[in-house]
Amino acid sequence: MGHVFDYQEAGQYAQWLEMDRHRDAAERQAQLLVKLTKPAYGDRILDIGCGTGVTLACLDRMKPGLDFTGLDASTYMLDIAGETLKNRAELFKGTAEELPFEDNAFNFAILNLTLEFVASPEKAIAEAARVAKDRLYIGFFNRLSLGAVPSLGKGLHGNPVFSKARFLSTWEVRQLIRGILGKVPVTSRTITYHPPAGGRLLGRLFQRLPYGAYTGMSVSLVPRFTTRPLSLFTEKARPQNMSIGEQFFKPDPQ
């Protein structure tokens, strides 16, 4: 188990998200999630480290008809998420490294701003891939973003809670995925909250570069099968000089 938000931290995080620019950032993150994962009506979605429920609330507005489940290690975060989501999601207390769900229980799982706070990103990714059958989405603040580097030690984007986070780069997350899941298809895009001048074309180019402030990765999960020896039951072969009729209608011995 990594860092668990206490009462004060949960309240600080909720207040931080109420600011217009941070609410807009959460909306843009959810838009990128939808673009990369393309959820369909009725899909079962698990948000691991759901926090205040802001990601699921954004998804609910963008894609009505999804079946939401949220999990967080902090009781205080879950209390806020319950107020945010009302009856639109089932909420569970638990850790990302030990999910209380069966294999392939969801269409896809979300780890959005979660790896920063877990004790073992490897276990969190492996567990998310275990319970999801189609896709895994990982969203994180990029450690190599030029705008983020000066503030990592003090609290990213003015939020002191992030001073307790462990930040990863795009390359590090890709290596984690490959080490755990093998050569699965991965699509990534970034968000630059202060895009450079140059118009839409340059903005789209920056989305594909690994230097944006926020990176979203969609992982297509390839099914894995466990094989075991197959037992075959055979009958004793009949003698070659015996006809089929003779097998069933043998003459009585004299």
pLDDT of residue 149: 44
**Domains of the chain and any CATH numbers:** 7-225 (3.40.50.150)
- Cross-strand partners of 212: none
List, in sequence order, the alpha helices (H) in 102-158.
121-131
Report how far residue 52's alpha carbon sits from residue 235's, in angstroms, rounded to the nearest whole number: 64
Report how far residue 84's alpha carbon sits from residue 77's, in angstroms, rounded to the nearest whole number: 10
Tokens (6 digits) for 11: 């309240």
In 3D, which of 177, 103, 166, 167 has the Cα closest to residue 136?
177
**This model's pTM is above 0.85:** no
pLDDT of residue 162: 79
Map residue 198 onto helix, strand or coil.
Answer: coil
pLDDT of residue 112: 97
pLDDT mean for each 10 residues of the chain (254 residues): 90 90 90 95 97 96 96 97 95 97 97 95 97 97 66 52 84 95 93 56 54 88 61 57 53 56
Phi, psi of 192 (to 5 degrees): -110, 110
